[in-house]
Structure 1
Amino acid sequence: AGFNLAGNPTLSRIGRLVHALDTGGVPVPEAAGVETLLQGARRRSTTDDQLLNESEKTFDLLYEAYLETPSKSGG
């Protein structure tokens, strides 16, 4: 499914990361670190709502970092 993220390079970059985590597609260097953080969120959470809240922090911070760090793949 497409989400038309082309207009927002930061979200597009996060989309590539999520795709790599989800399907093991094109490798993304920071995927292993993000997976480790999400594993911690899963361990800490006892409900889906808690997991969403914990995971949201990771992706919010990643978004901020990506705003400051251009993608090496040009996106």
Structure 2
Amino acid sequence: DNLAFMNMDERLMNYIIDKSKINHSKEIHTTHQEIAYDLHTSRVVVSRLLKALENGGKIRLHRASIELLK
């Protein structure tokens, strides 16, 4: 329920952290479209927010994967 009241950037970061914990890895293998589907938003929004997180030094984007830095 808390997820619904968070900003999309917070939801996205929590999603990445949760996926990395589940996989026991700092890298998750997924696409922007799959993340958008899981978070009930558009791929464009996810791509824009991922780029902002990368510019903020929290993640590093790779082809079909995301590396969690912090």
Q: What is the TM-score when the length of structure 2 is the normalising length? A: 0.34
Higher helix share: 1
Which structure is higher in RCO with an 8 Å CA cutoff and minimum separation 6? 1
Q: What is the TM-score when the length of structure 1 is the normalising length? A: 0.32
Max Rg structure: 1
